[in-house]
Amino acid sequence: MLEVVNLRRSGLAPVSLSLAAGECVAVQGPSGAGKSLMLRAIADLDVNDGEVSLDGVGRDAVSGPQWRRQVGYVPAEPGWWADRVGEHFRDWAALLPWAERLLLPAEAAAWPMTRPSTGERCRLALLRALEMAPRMLLLDEPTAALDPLATAAVEALVGERVAAGLGVLWVTHDAVQAARVAGRILRISQGRLE
């Protein structure tokens, strides 16, 4: 489904990879190896070169926003633009079943943005990305700030979406998690994908 050929950007050696629909691939490597740089380039958030396509349709054939709606990126430290949690979602009520599974209370929508913890923010960002109904998700350390219970909840929900056809690139430091969630593991070191 996702086809990346010779993706080039500063801080990263040319990357090629492919990923099928319903496949979850883990990305591992030391800090500063270029994992986030690669995800940002695939999501077309930074200047980069190379051929990236989804189901054979090149990235340049669609606008940047259209591309990013299909290839969602959830950064390790997600950003927020409004004062309340609920303003970052289009339809919070429709998301309630998923919010519950991510151990987020229904009333979280009314919280001021200062209230959620780092771990809650990570799960809110995942929920926000799932709401777009993307074809692909690029997850950057989505469970680094979570306790084991919340980690299991995230893995279960993402796993279910993968089973429904979502493609996932999952960056994680945790080798055990990588083996648990992904069918395949890619390694990056010093800006080079192996």
Partner 1 sequence: MTGYVSLSAWDLGLASLLVFANAGLSLALRLDLHGRLLIAAARMVAQLSLMGLVLVTLFALVSPWWTALAALVMVGFAGREAAARQDRPLTGWWSYGIGTTSMMTAATLVTVFALTTALRPDPWYDPRYAIPLLGMVLGNTMTGVSLGLNGLATGLVTRRAGVEARLMLGASRHEALRPVVRAALRNAMMPIVNAMSATGVVSLPGMMTGQILGGVAPAEAVKYQILIMFLIAGGTGIGAVTAVLGGSWRLTDHRHRLRLDRIGG
Q: Is residue 69 at the binding interface for partner 1, with CB under 8 A as the rule? A: yes
Member of 16, 63, 117, 190 binding partner 1 (CB under 8 A): 63
Please choose, out of 80-88, 92-100, 163-171, 182-190, the segment that lies near partner 1 by the rule CB under 8 A.
Answer: 80-88
Member of 31, 47, 148, 176 binding partner 1 (CB under 8 A): 47
Residue type, 54: L
As a whole number of angstroms, the distance between CA 1 and CA 20 comes to: 5
Residues 88-107 that bind partner 1 (CB under 8 A): 88
State which residue, 35 or 88, has the beta carbon closest to partner 1. 88
Member of 34, 75, 142, 167 binding partner 1 (CB under 8 A): 75
Tell me, residue by residue from 110 to 149, as one string, x for binding to partner 1 by CB under 8 A and - for no binding.
---------------x--xx--x-----------------
Find the shortest distance in angstroms from Cβ 163 to partner 1: 24
Find the shortest distance in angstroms from Cβ 148 to partner 1: 27
As a whole number of angstroms, the distance between CA 37 and CA 177 comes to: 21
Q: Is residue 192 at the binding interface for partner 1, with CB under 8 A as the rule? A: no
Member of 16, 66, 117, 118 binding partner 1 (CB under 8 A): 66
Q: Is residue 46 at the binding interface for partner 1, with CB under 8 A as the rule? A: yes
